[in-house]
């Protein structure tokens, strides 16, 4: 298992490109199951989570080929409806395959998913929604045996929380269900819009994606399609944080700036100069950042929980006191213990963290406890004096395509 070694204190400068969105690629790969044909996804990142999704597709009987950032899935020979525990346990979002398998074969057997330990992320919303569409679910000692008699049936589904995964599962299951499905309090993240756009290009009839209410008119079948995955907004936010942490100057290319509208005010409050283009963001940071009064993570279009750890790290070296409130995940402050090792001054009580910025962090041996905590450790290592060694980087590789290679290109002293 590898490690990342960073010799910090070097301002980053230059240009860096953003790869395709992990959180779009996974449901899009699941969606290829429904079309029963040969679908092509471009800008699909080479990440361990994407590799797991491709192995799930192959286990189910699909042919999967990758050439660069293009993945081709032929699901015409799909025959298996069960995902083994060895694959389900590798990532939390594997549950999104349930709706697609049930829609295609009328039966599915999966276990409870794995992934980052961020506290309770129950799949009850997923299961309840699919049951409302007519899926019968039996718990068999940790496995879920799911069947539907005939076709799934459209329904009016009101989510108690705008869950991204539950919204995706409903879209996948309902696009070929009989009749109309309405999702109230749906998630509105860009990844939801990306999935709906792909399904519509396959012949689905989905309206309102990106809004709180989505209408899906079921069709008899879908056909294959070609699609370009949207850029990863969290990777873009991470690279902006890397530049800000080092007092650097950076162009972030191949991104969707409108997906980061809630992040820009925080960076500007910290004293960063931003110039936002159509598909690029320029950032120039101060040598010492300002504190930020308060950041609250919220469902989109609010401040994203996935961007909280890297931007939180900026507050650790800001000139004053900042407050972060985490409203999405219970255990989203796992980076705090590692920042403390590096000399940060942070107090956490429940979902609130108070950060008193220090003049400088010091290099240390730290761990990437989960994907975004790992990103925070990279940001901290770039800002710190001395060498930072990050272990458990398999978490980082779940969401960043060779982050060390990308950062080397803009001046970071980082090696794997």
Q: Name the residues annotated as catalytic.
A: 116
Q: Which long-range contacts (CB under 8 A, 24 or more apart) does 345-349 make?
A: 345/316, 346/316
Give the Å distances, CA to CA, from 254 to 111, 231, 236, 323, 347.
Answer: 37, 7, 9, 31, 37
Start-to-end CA span in the chain (Å): 10
Angle made by CA atoms 360, 361, 366, in degrees to the nearest 5: 175
Instruction: Please give the helix or strand (H or E) that residue 387 lies within, else none.
Output: strand 387-391
In angstroms, the CA 202 to CA 35 distance is 7
CA pseudo-torsion sign 243, 247, 248, 252: positive
Give the annotated binding-site residues for UDP-N-acetyl-alpha-D-glucosamine.
92, 121-125, 306, 328
In angstroms, the CA 234 to CA 240 distance is 10
In angstroms, the CA 191 to CA 22 distance is 9
Task: Kindly state the tokens that stand for 82.
Answer: 């069960």
Answer yes or no: are the C-beta atoms of 256 and 191 closer than 8 Å: no
Task: Kindly state the tokens that stand for 224.
Answer: 């294959």
Quick one: CA torsion of 167, 173, 179, 182, rounded to 10 degrees? Answer: 0
- Cβ-based neighbours of 156, under 8 Å, separated by 6 or more: 181, 182, 184
Give the Å distances, CA to CA, from 96 to 31, 181, 193, 300.
Answer: 9, 18, 16, 19
Answer yes or no: are the C-beta atoms of 232 and 372 closer than 8 Å: no
In angstroms, the CA 82 to CA 327 distance is 34
- Cβ-based neighbours of 337, under 8 Å, separated by 6 or more: none
Answer yes or no: are the C-beta atoms of 83 and 60 closer than 8 Å: yes
In angstroms, the CA 246 to CA 243 distance is 5
Give the annotated binding-site residues for phosphoenolpyruvate.
22-23
Phi, psi (5° rounding) for residue 111? -105, 180
């Amino acid at each position: 298992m590898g490690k990342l070694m960073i010799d910090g204190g070097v301002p980053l400068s230059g240009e860096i490109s953003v790869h395709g969105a992990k959180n779009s690629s996974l449901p899009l790969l699941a969606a290829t199951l429904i079309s029963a044909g040969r679908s092509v996804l471009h800008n699909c990142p080479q990440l361990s989570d994407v590799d797991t999704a491709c192995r799930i597709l192959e286990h189910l009987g699909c042919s999967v080929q990758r050439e660069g950032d293009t993945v081709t899935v032929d699901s015409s020979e799909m025959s298996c409806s069960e995902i083994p525990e060895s694959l389900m346990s590798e990532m939390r979002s594997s549950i999104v395959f349930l709706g697609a398998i049930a829609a295609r074969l009328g039966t599915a057997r999966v276990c409870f998913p794995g992934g980052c330990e961020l506290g309770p992320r129950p799949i009850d919303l997923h299961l309840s929604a699919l049951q409302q569409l007519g899926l019968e679910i039996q718990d068999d000692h940790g496995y879920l045996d799911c069947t539907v008699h005939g076709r799934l049936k459209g329904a009016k589904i009101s989510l108690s929380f705008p869950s991204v995964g539950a919204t995706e599962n409903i879209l996948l299951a309902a696009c070929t269900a009989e009749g109309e499905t309405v999702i109230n309090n749906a998630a509105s993240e860009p990844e939801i819009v990306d999935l709906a756009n792909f399904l519509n290009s396959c012949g689905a009839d989905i309206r309102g994606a990106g809004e709180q209410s989505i209408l899906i008119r079921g069709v008899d079948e879908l056909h294959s399609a070609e699609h370009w995955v949207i850029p990863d907004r969290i990777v873009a936010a991470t690279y902006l944080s890397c530049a800000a942490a080092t007092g650097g100057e950076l162009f972030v290319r191949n991104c969707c700036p409108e997906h980061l509208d809630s992040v820009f005010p925080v960076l500007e409050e910290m004293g960063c100069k931003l110039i936002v283009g159509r598909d690029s963001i320029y950032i120039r940071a101060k040598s010492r950042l300002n504190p930020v009064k308060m950041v609250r993570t919220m469902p989109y279009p609010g401040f994203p929980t996935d961007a909280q750890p890297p931007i939180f790290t900026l507050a650790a070296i800001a000139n004053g006191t900042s407050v972060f409130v985490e409203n999405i995940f219970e255990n989203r402050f796992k980076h705090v213990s590692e920042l403390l090792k590096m000399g940060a001054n942070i107090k956490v009580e429940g979902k609130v963290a108070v950060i008193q910025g220090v003049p400088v962090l010091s290099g240390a041996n730290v761990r990437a406890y989960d994907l975004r905590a790992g990103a925070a450790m990279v940001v901290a290592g770039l800002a710190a004096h001395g060498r930072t060694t990050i272990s458990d980087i398999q978490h980082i590789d779940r969401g960043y395509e060779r982050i060390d290679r990308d950062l080397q290109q803009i001046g970071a002293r980082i090696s794997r």
